[in-house]
């Protein structure tokens, strides 16, 4: 069966889907509330406009139907772990952190774990790597004892005689005793450790007076292990919530993800992940990342994510706690995370070894195939994307010496009055090269148009107007399956390029990059337009409440069809609700 036939047989049910390449390898695993709708979206030109590298490789699709979203999440995790598909985010199996928990039992006890127990009465962490969490556990056991033994022994245990067990070994312990102890532990993990340090210091001095110098030294080291609770961070926030901040940065062929863990206003841990970026959809990537990292770790009270992540597409567990950075503190936290992501990329660039040979070979081959008699150092490719003639975005990607230079990529907002791609391209190219001339910026040796002869003529017309005819122009033609097929050279002659496999793959990758960059542009514009539309002028509504609305509804019309009681519960503000209803009544 071909792909179209397979999609037509998919059920409108929840499940997981697997994409296979021509070698029968699983290259992507995903989950969906509606299999047919989700899988169709990958191949629907209306929604995706450009075919990504992933879609180009798909030759077969298989799926599993499940009963609910929770089952699909578990199955997706297992399938990713089994097949390790190259287009999914793949974290190491040990992506877990230290936690100290208090068990949810009649006589609770402390435990040190590296995979959070979601049934625990309390979980404290993640604790900083290198913080000697086990030593902190011993300190808590000594100062705020809970049950330390198996319990119901019929006699006091060894730890009871050391005042390190509640006595559940031989007696009934008052529930209020445990509540008081746990209250002190809560305060300890909020940074109020004065009592702990004072008690430990007293124990240390007593041991020293009794000439128990080894014991005194051990207690001194225990005090030192508490430093992570008192160390002042560069930025502190007055907040008792557990807040995680996740940002990402894409550069060249890599994506870096930075995760910051804030507890009681303190940045206690940062983690980083970097992997090859194959032009995947960042919303899918982030959902996979969240699924994997929170499988073994505490889901926070608040999750701050990049504005590029569409919150409405997150699974319910994350959607209810997720926010874009809006408040002053949220913006500060996110900036710290994003700077860390930039540092991850910087260190990656320093450490990598660049092989120039292949790129130089490809550039020479490109010049030869395109009938260009000059060295190609700087190449720029252009494309236009839109959704139903809205959110029109032009994109330019820049390659220097055969490598993408992402900080020189640019997006261009294009007015809807330009109704044809020909006029849109002319508008974009005129803006770009007129500005380049005024600012005396580097000009390309070659322009590649993501399209055929019409796009080439648009470029040549603008270059002639600006006196830049010396810049070479070629085009890349796609077939009916939207796959790269031929090259149009500087003499406007079609050339087969599949015979030059390295060049073909390199040009295809460039096309994917300009497609995806343009697409990310109109997605962002679409999201921004929702936030910056007339709703911002409604009294009582701000960015936060508008974000809440669009985490649940895709469009104004969906909001308009919602029952009043549901809107009141969402907004939690009667004045905002009344003003919104008035706006919706007038909305056409």
> What would the DSSP string read from start to end of 171-195?
SPPPHHHHHHHHHHHHHHHTT--HH
State residue 391's pLDDT score: 60
Cα(395)–Cα(428) distance, integer angstroms: 9
User: Residue 542, preceding bond cis, omega within 30 degrees?
Assistant: no
Q: How confident is the model at residue 388 (pLDDT cuts 50, 70, 90)?
A: very low
Q: Which helix (H) or strand (E) holds 535?
A: none
Indicate if the pLDDT at residue 219 is higher than 60: yes
What pLDDT score was predicted for residue 102? Answer: 93
* Average pLDDT over every residue of 306-326: 87
Backbone angles phi, psi at 375, to 5 degrees: -70, 135
Write phi, then psi, for 434 (nearest 5 degrees): -65, -45
pLDDT band at 188 (very low <50, low <70, confident <90, very high): confident
Whole-number average pLDDT of the chain = 82
Residue 126 — pLDDT band, cuts 50, 70, 90? confident
CA distance 382 to 236: 44
How many percent of the chain have pLDDT more than 70? 85
Task: Report pLDDT for 384.
Answer: 84
> Between the CA of residue 268 and those of 156, 183, 569, what are the distances in Å?
38, 21, 35
Are 259 and 271 in contact by the 8 Å Cβ rule? The answer is yes
In angstroms, the CA 545 to CA 542 distance is 6
Q: What angle do CA 337, 342, 343 make, to 5 degrees?
A: 95
Instruction: Provide the token pair at 363.
Output: 């550039």
Task: Please say whether the beta carbons of 55 and 43 come within 8 A.
Answer: yes
pLDDT reported for residue 559: 83
In 289-445, where do the E strands start and end? 302-305, 322-323, 378-387, 390-400, 403-404, 410-413
Mean pLDDT to the nearest integer, 134-142: 81
Predicted pLDDT at 353: 43
Taking only the tens place, the pLDDT of each residue in 391-438 is: 678 889 999 888 888 778 888 888 777 878 888 899 999 999 999 999
Please state the rounded mean pLDDT for residues 489-506: 89
The residues that bridge with 123 in the sheet, in sequence order, are: 101
- Do the Cβ atoms of 506 and 362 come closer than 8 Å? yes
Joined tokens for residue 320? 């209810």
| Residue 473 three-state SS | strand
CB 87 within 8 A of CB 280: yes
Q: What is the pLDDT of residue 172?
A: 94
292 closest CA partner among 80, 101, 118, 471: 80
Query: 64 near 16, Cβ under 8 Å?
Result: yes
Six-digit token pair at 493? 């002659």
Other beta carbons within 10 angstroms of residue 23's beta carbon come to 8
Confidence of residue 148 (pLDDT cuts 50, 70, 90): very high
Q: How far apart are CA 345 and CA 257, in angstroms?
A: 9
pLDDT at 93: 53
């Amino acid at each position: 069966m071909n792909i179209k036939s397979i999609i037509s047989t998919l059920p409108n049910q929840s499940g997981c889907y697997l994409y296979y390449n021509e070698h029968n390898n699983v290259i992507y695993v995903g989950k969906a509330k509606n299999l047919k709708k989700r899988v169709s979206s990958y191949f629907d030109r209306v929604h995706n406009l450009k075919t990504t590298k992933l879609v180009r490789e798909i030759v077969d699709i298989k799926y599993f139907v499940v009963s609910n979203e929770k089952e699909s999440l578990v199955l997706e995790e297992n399938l990713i772990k089994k097949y390790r598909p190259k287009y999914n985010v793949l974290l190491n199996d040990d992506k877990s952190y230290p936690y100290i928990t208090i068990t949810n039992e009649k006589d609770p006890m402390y435990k040190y774990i590296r995979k959070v127990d979601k049934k625990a009465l309390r979980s404290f962490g993640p604790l900083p790597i290198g913080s000697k969490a086990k030593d902190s556990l011993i300190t808590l056991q000594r100062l705020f004892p809970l049950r330390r033994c198996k319990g119901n022994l019929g006699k006091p245990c060894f730890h009871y005689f050391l005042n390190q067990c509640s006595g559940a070994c031989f007696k009934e312990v008052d529930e209020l005793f445990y509540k008081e102890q746990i209250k002190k532990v809560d305060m300890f993990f909020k940074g109020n450790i004065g009592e702990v340090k004072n008690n430990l210091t007293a124990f240390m001095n007593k041991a020293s007076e009794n000439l128990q110098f080894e014991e005194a030294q051990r207690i001194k080291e225990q005090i030192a292990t508490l430093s992570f609770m008192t160390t002042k961070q560069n930025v502190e926030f007055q907040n008792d919530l557990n807040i995680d901040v996740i940002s990402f940065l894409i550069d060249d062929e890599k994506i870096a993800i930075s995760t910051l863990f804030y507890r009681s206003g303190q940045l206690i841990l940062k983690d980083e992940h970097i992997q090859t970026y194959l032009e995947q959809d960042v919303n899918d990537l982030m959902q996979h990342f969240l699924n994997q990292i929170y499988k073994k770790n505490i889901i926070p009270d608040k999750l701050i994510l990049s504005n590029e992540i569409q919150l409405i597409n997150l699974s319910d567990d994350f959607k209810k706690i997720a926010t874009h950075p809006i408040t002053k503190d949220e913006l500060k936290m996110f900036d710290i995370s994003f700077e860390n992501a930039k540092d991850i990329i910087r260190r990656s660039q320093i450490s990598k070894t660049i092989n120039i040979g292949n790129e130089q070979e490809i550039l020479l081959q490109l010049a030869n195939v395109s009938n260009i008699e000059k060295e190609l150092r700087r190449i720029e490719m252009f494309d236009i994307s839109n959704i139903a003639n809205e959110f029109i975005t032009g994109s330019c990607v820049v390659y220097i010496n055969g490598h993408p230079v992402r900080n020189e990529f640019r997006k261009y907002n294009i007015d809807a009055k330009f109704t044809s791609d020909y006029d849109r391209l002319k508008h974009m190219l005129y803006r770009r090269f007129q500005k380049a001339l005024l600012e005396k910026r580097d000009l390309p040796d070659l322009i590649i148009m993501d399209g055929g002869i019409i796009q080439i003529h648009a470029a040549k017309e603008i270059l002639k107007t600006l006196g830049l005819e010396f810049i070479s122009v070629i085009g890349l033609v796609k077939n009916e399956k939207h796959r790269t097929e031929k090259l149009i050279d500087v003499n406007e002659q079609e050339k087969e390029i599949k015979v030059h496999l390295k060049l073909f793959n390199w040009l295809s990758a460039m096309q994917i990059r300009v497609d995806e960059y343009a697409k990310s542009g109109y997605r962002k514009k679409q999201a921004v337009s929702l936030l910056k539309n007339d709703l911002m002028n409604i009294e009582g509504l701000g960015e936060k409440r508008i974000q809440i609305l669009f985490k649940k509804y895709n469009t104004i019309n969906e909001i308009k069809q919602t029952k009043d009681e549901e809107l009141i519960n969402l907004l939690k503000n009667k004045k905002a609700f009344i003003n919104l209803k008035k706006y919706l009544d007038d909305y056409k």
